[in-house]
């Protein structure tokens, strides 16, 4: 069955159910996902997009059909030949409500069943029709519509400790970023496998906006890093500019870049995702800052699962040794953990306290970052870490390439000097 366009489809569903009443309905099932009654989805409207995508993919996989109702409920119909297939679909849909306290506390009890109601269309078509009629009637009743309308606003938890920017400050930052060539501030740094004395093998390169360069050029009088409010606003704006830049730029290598969890739920990311060629998503690693993940782990889980369903890989950035025992847990379910090394830190990475955590994290492809000298590399290799990033890695990668590539003319060398190479330039 072909899915209808994604608009409010109350009347189309009613007409389809009327036609279905005159047909054979054996092994036909429907599920009414009452997202409008879920406190979680009412508070996090942006997650409705993720839920809709998940339901749509599930319907496509089982040759089903999805209708989206005016109040953001979904009705999915599928033909399921075996009971075990029905149980599998039900389990996958149940995960949509994993972060809803009402559904979670009751498991598969009455509360969950009210949010996710199944119907056998062979015997319960009339019951489903009554439920759809009730939703449609609420749309015609202003009071009912007001009660059922999902809440708006941003998803995730607000941080009350942030001091809001003035409208003038926000406008100044937005105008500066809008008019600036963001490509000038985008830098590149490789992540490489380094085992023993073997030459480094780059597995992907991180592309990021140099905050120091941005500050010096655009905001010399604003302390971007020490003002959490300014920095949070800035990173969300930079996410949009980075995504727009990447849509216009062809990168012929595996690469990563940092995003806020909230950005994954935005139209800008969907536009970026749709601009990619089939198969390219597997070469892209999306990095998230640990603070962003831990502030709202439920939001991260939904964003992570959406990215994984699309084929991306995921990295947790900014990890410190004290967090390793928790972040190496399988529930985090990321492809990479990026562990920051600080030369003057008091933590002894070789202590027994971190031994088991390092073993678990290494199996999850631990990246040791800020490796700026040979001593840091040697320590990481003693801990059986294989992936590294930092100034020392940059030099090792450059030296390895210089040994295998012919010497460039002096004019070409002057263009390629420097630790990082902006997007759009060749990295040879």
Total domains present in the chain: 2
182 & 144 share domain? no
**Least confident stretch, 97-106, 286-295, 364-373:** 97-106
- Which pLDDT belongs to residue 60? 84
206 & 60 share domain? no
140 & 267 share domain? no
Q: Tell me: pLDDT of 424 over 80.
A: no
Hey, what are 305's tokens?
Answer: 């699962």
195 & 76 share domain? no
CATH number at residue 358: 3.20.20.450
Whether 158 is covered by a domain: the verdict is no
Residue of 40 and 118 predicted with greater confidence: 118
Q: How confident is the model at residue 84 (pLDDT cuts 50, 70, 90)?
A: confident
Which domain covers residue 261, as residue numbers?
Answer: 167-416
Q: In what order do the strands lie in the sheet with 65-68?
A: 65-68, 74-79, 28-33, 116-120
Q: What would the 3-class secondary structure string for 315-373 be?
A: EEEEECHHHHHHHCCCCCCCCEEEEECCCCCCCCCCCHHHHHHHHHHHHCCEEEECCCC
Span 174-185, mean pLDDT? Answer: 85
Q: How confident is the model at residue 418 (pLDDT cuts 50, 70, 90)?
A: very low
**Least confident stretch, 98-102, 150-154, 190-194:** 150-154
Whether 192 is covered by a domain: the verdict is yes
47 & 90 share domain? yes
Percentage of the residues of the chain whose pLDDT score is greater than 90: 37
Percentage of the residues of the chain whose pLDDT score is greater than 70: 72
Give the number of other Cβ atoms within 10 Å of residue 72's Cβ: 21
Whether 5 is covered by a domain: the verdict is no
Q: Tell me: pLDDT of 217 over 70.
A: yes
Over residues 30-39, the pLDDT tens digits come to 999 988 887 6
143 & 184 share domain? no
| Beta strand pairing call for 255-258 and 116-120 | unpaired
142 & 182 share domain? no
Whether 207 is covered by a domain: the verdict is yes
CATH number at residue 57: 3.30.70
- Which pLDDT belongs to residue 229? 59
**Helix or strand or coil: residue 119?**
strand
> 374-382 and 391-404 are packed helices; what angle lies between their axes, rounded to 10 degrees?
100
177 & 66 share domain? no
39, 101 Cβ separation under 8 angstroms? yes
In whole angstroms, give the CA distance from residue 153 to residue 138: 23
Q: Tell me: pLDDT of 402 over 90.
A: no
Span 334-353, mean pLDDT? Answer: 79
- Which pLDDT belongs to residue 139? 83
In whole angstroms, give the CA distance from residue 81 to residue 2: 19
- Which pLDDT belongs to residue 145? 52
383 & 300 share domain? yes
**According to the per-residue pLDDT averaged within each range, which of 72-76, 83-87, 281-285, 342-346 is highest?**
281-285
Span 103-113, mean pLDDT? Answer: 47
Looking at every residue in the chain, the average pLDDT score rounds to 78
Q: Tell me: pLDDT of 273 over 90.
A: yes
**Least confident stretch, 83-87, 158-162, 211-215:** 158-162
Whether 363 is covered by a domain: the verdict is yes
Q: Tell me: pLDDT of 95 over 50.
A: yes
Q: Which DSSP letter does residue 286 get?
A: E
66 & 25 share domain? yes
Span 205-217, mean pLDDT? Answer: 88
Residue of 224 and 415 predicted with greater confidence: 224
135 & 184 share domain? no
Query: Which of 148, 179, 207 marks a domain boundary?
Result: 148
127 & 204 share domain? no
Whether 218 is covered by a domain: the verdict is yes
Whether 132 is covered by a domain: the verdict is yes
Over residues 135-147, the pLDDT tens digits come to 988 887 655 554 4
Whether 41 is covered by a domain: the verdict is yes
Span 317-327, mean pLDDT? Answer: 77
Q: Tell me: pLDDT of 76 over 80.
A: yes
Q: Tell me: pLDDT of 428 over 50.
A: no
Choose among 258, 255, 257: nearest CA to 205: 255
Q: Tell me: pLDDT of 344 over 90.
A: no
């Amino acid at each position: 069955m072909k899915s209808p366009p994604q608009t409010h489809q109350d009347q189309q569903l009613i007409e389809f159910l009327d036609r279905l009443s005159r047909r054979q309905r054996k092994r036909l099932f429907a599920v009414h996902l009452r997202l409008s009654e879920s406190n979680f989805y009412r508070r996090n409207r942006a997650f409705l997009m993720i839920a809709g995508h998940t339901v749509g993919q599930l319907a496509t996989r089982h040759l089903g059909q999805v209708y989206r109702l005016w109040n953001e409920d979904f009705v999915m119909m599928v033909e399921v030949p075996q009971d075990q297939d029905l149980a599998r679909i039900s389990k996958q849909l149940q995960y949509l409500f994993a972060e809803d306290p009402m559904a979670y506390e009751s498991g598969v009890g009455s509360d969950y069943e009210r949010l996710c109601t199944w119907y056998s269309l062979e015997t319960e078509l009339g019951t489903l029709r009554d439920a759809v009629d009730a939703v449609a009637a609420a749309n015609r009743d202003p009071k009912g519509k007001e009660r059922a309308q999902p809440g708006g606003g941003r998803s995730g938890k607000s941080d009350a400790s942030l001091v809001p920017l003035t409208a003038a400050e926000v406008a100044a930052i937005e105008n500066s970023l809008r008019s600036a060539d963001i490509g000038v501030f985008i830098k590149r740094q490789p992540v490489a496998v380094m085992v023993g004395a073997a030459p480094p093998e780059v597995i992907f390169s991180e592309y990021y906006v140099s905050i120091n360069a941005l500050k010096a050029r655009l905001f010399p009088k604003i302390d971007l890093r020490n003002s959490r409010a300014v920095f949070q606003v800035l990173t969300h704006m930079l996410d949009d500019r980075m995504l727009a830049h990447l849509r216009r730029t062809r990168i012929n290598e595996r690469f990563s870049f940092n995003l806020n969890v909230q950005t994954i739920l935005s139209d800008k990311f969907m536009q970026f995702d749709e601009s990619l060629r089939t198969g390219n998503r597997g070469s892209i690693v999306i990095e998230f800052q640990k603070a962003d993940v831990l502030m709202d782990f439920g939001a991260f889980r939904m964003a992570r699962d959406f990215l994984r369903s699309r084929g991306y890989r995921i990295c947790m950035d900014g990890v410190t040794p004290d967090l390793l025992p928790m972040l190496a847990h399988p529930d985090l379910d990321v492809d990479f953990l990026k562990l920051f090394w600080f030369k003057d830190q008091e933590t002894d990475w070789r202590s027994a306290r971190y031994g088991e955590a390092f073993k678990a994290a290494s199996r999850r492809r631990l990246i040791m970052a800020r490796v700026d000298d040979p001593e840091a590399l040697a320590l990481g290799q003693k801990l059986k870490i294989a992936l590294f990033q930092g100034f020392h890695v940059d030099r090792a990668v450059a030296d390895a390439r210089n040994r295998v590539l012919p010497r460039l003319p002096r004019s070409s060398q002057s263009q390629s000097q420097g630790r990082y190479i902006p997007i759009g330039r060749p990295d040879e």
